[in-house]
Chain A
C-alpha cells in the first residue's frame, strides 16, 4: 500500500507545548510532546477530556501556535509554513465544517475550489462524495435541517474533498448513535485502505481506538503515557479471571491456589476471587480442574480479555471514566475552582 514517495515522518513534534492562561492561572494543556508519525499510519489519540488531545490537534492543524517546541506536518513547520500545511491536510473538527445556513453540496464545491480544484472538478468531486457518504437525499437541503449523523457524514466529506495527504479528525464519532459510529469507522477504514493517507483521530471511546487504529497514543495531562499497537498495549496486561465460589473459606483456598500461577495478581473479595494473568483463557481450564481436585465447585467463572480501559487504569491508576469526570470543572488538578470549562476542548 506504500505508493507514496515521502521519506521520514509525516508528522514530527519536538517538545511541543501549549499553555492557556485564563485569569492569572495557567493550564499546561500539552507538555513537551515528542511524536513521530509515518506516512500512511492510522493513529488514535486516546485520553479523557482535557488530556490535551484536541490542543495537540489544533496545533498540528495550524489553528493555534505552540507556546514552545516545534511541529512539522507534511514537511512544513506549523508556524512558519502554515499555508503549506493547510494545503496538505484535511481537518474534521468537533463542530460542523459546513455552514448551517448553507447547502451541503454548495459547501463541498466551495471547499474544493478553496483547494484549487476547477469548477468542473469541484462539482464532480462533490457528486462523488455525496454518493459515497450516502448524502444524496440531503445534499441540496439547508445544513441546519440535517440530522446529527447526516451532518457528521457531511463533515467527513468536507475533510476528504481534496484527498488530503494527512487527515485529522477531532472526535469524529461524538454524538453519533452506535449504528452511525460503526458506519463512520467503516468509512475511515476504507478511506485509509483506498488512499494510503495518514489519519490521526482523537477519541475517548476505547472501543473506537481499539477497532480502528493501528497505533494508539494514550495522552493524559498533556503528555504521552503510552504509544503502541492496541494489541501490545493490552497483551502486557493479561486477562482478568473472575471466579465465584460458594463461600469465603473456599475462596481463600482458591486464592492461594491461584497465587501459585506464575505472574498472577490475585485478589479476593468475600467469595469472589479475581486473577489478573497473561494468557488467562488458557490457564482457566487447568485452574478449574485443580479446584475440582481439591473438592471445590466454583459457582461461576468469567474470562475477560483486557480492554483499553484496563490499559488506561493500569497506566494512570484511574479509570477513563473517572478521569473524564475529573476533567469536568477543574483542570489538571488545579486547586482553584475555575468552572469556566477552559479545557482545551472548549477553546
Chain B
C-alpha cells in the first residue's frame, strides 16, 4: 500500500512523489559495503566469473581512493547503506504481473499511462532491480535490444562485454568504482545499424526504502546511422536519513548515428546523487545530453561527450534548480579528440531559498583536433540574497586552429521585472514562476511536449511557497 508521507517533510514542499510503499522485498543484503556483500550480489544474479572479478576489483579500487575534495560536502557513511535490495522475483513484461504495491507506485507516477500514450518502450526499476520492461514489437523485430543490464549479462554476453566498462572504467573515479562493484539494474540498449526509433524509450528509477543505495548501470550502443531518444526519470520519498544514488551511464554513438539522452531528476532532498555519464561519439555522430536536475540533497554530475572521430558533435543542455538544503554541482564535459568536431554546452541554473547551484564544466581540445569549434553559454538566476551560484569552467586547449567561445551571466530577478508583472495583476509567486520559466524556456522547448509540460510542472512545484 502506498501511503503519503508528511511527517518527515522538513521543508514543507509536499509533492506527489513523496509517498512510500510498504513492500516486503525478496532479498535485502546486510547493511554496509564488504566483499561478502559484493559476492552475495554476484551470487544472486548468478553471474559469470568475469563479472564477479570485475566487481571485486572495482571494490578494491573504490576502497583505495580518497573521497573527492571538490564539489559538494559528502557526509556519507558507506557502512550505513543497504547496497542491494531485490524487490521481486523477476522483471515482468506485463504490468498485471508486477506485484500490486509496486505497480501502484508506478501508477501513481503515471508511468503505465505515459507508456500507452507516447513511449516506444519502458523500464521501471524499483530499488535494485528492474521490475517491468516493455518494447514495441516492431522495434524488437528490427533487432533493437532493450533489456535491464543484468539480463544483458546473461543473454547478450558478447555485445555487453565488448563495451561494458570501456567508456567509464572503474578506475575513472571513486563513485564509478563503487557503482562497478555493486551495480544492479539499469538499461541495456542496442540499436542496429540504420534503425531510427521515432518515440522515446524511457526508464524510470524509484528508490523507496530508507538508507538505500541505488546503483544502476546503463549501457547504450547506437550502431551506424541509427538514432534513439532515451529518457529517464527518478524520484524517491523523503526520509530522515540519506540515501545514495550512484549510477554509471555509458553511451557509444557510432558513425552517423544520433543519441539524445534526457534526464529529469527529481530525487527527494535527502539523496546524494553522484552519477558518471559519458558518451563516445564517432565519425559524424551526434550525442546530446539534456540533463535536468531539480531534486536531491547534493548532485555531482557532469555528462560528457568525447568526440572520437572527425565530424562528431556533442551538445549538452543542463538545467539545475536548487532550493533550501540543496546543492546542485552540475555541468558538462566536452572532449575534442579529433579534427572538425563541434561541441556546445548550454547551462541554466536557478537558486532559491538558500539553495546553491554550481556550474562545473570542462572543455578540452586534444592535440590534432584542429578546426574544432566549441561554445559554452552558462546563465545563472538567483532568486534571493540567501541563495548562491558559482561557476567553475575548466578549459584545456592543445591546438591552435580552434574556435572557442564562453559566455557566462548571473542575474537576480530584478525589482523592475517583478514590479512590471505585478502591475499586470500577477501575484508575486506567479510572477517569479513566470520569470523562471522564461529563463529556462530555451531549454524546455528542446524537450518533447510531454516532458516540457512535466518540467514546467516541476518548476511550478519548486516555486510554490518560494515567495513569502
The answer to whether A and B come from one shared complex is no
- A residues neighboring B (CB under 8 Å): none
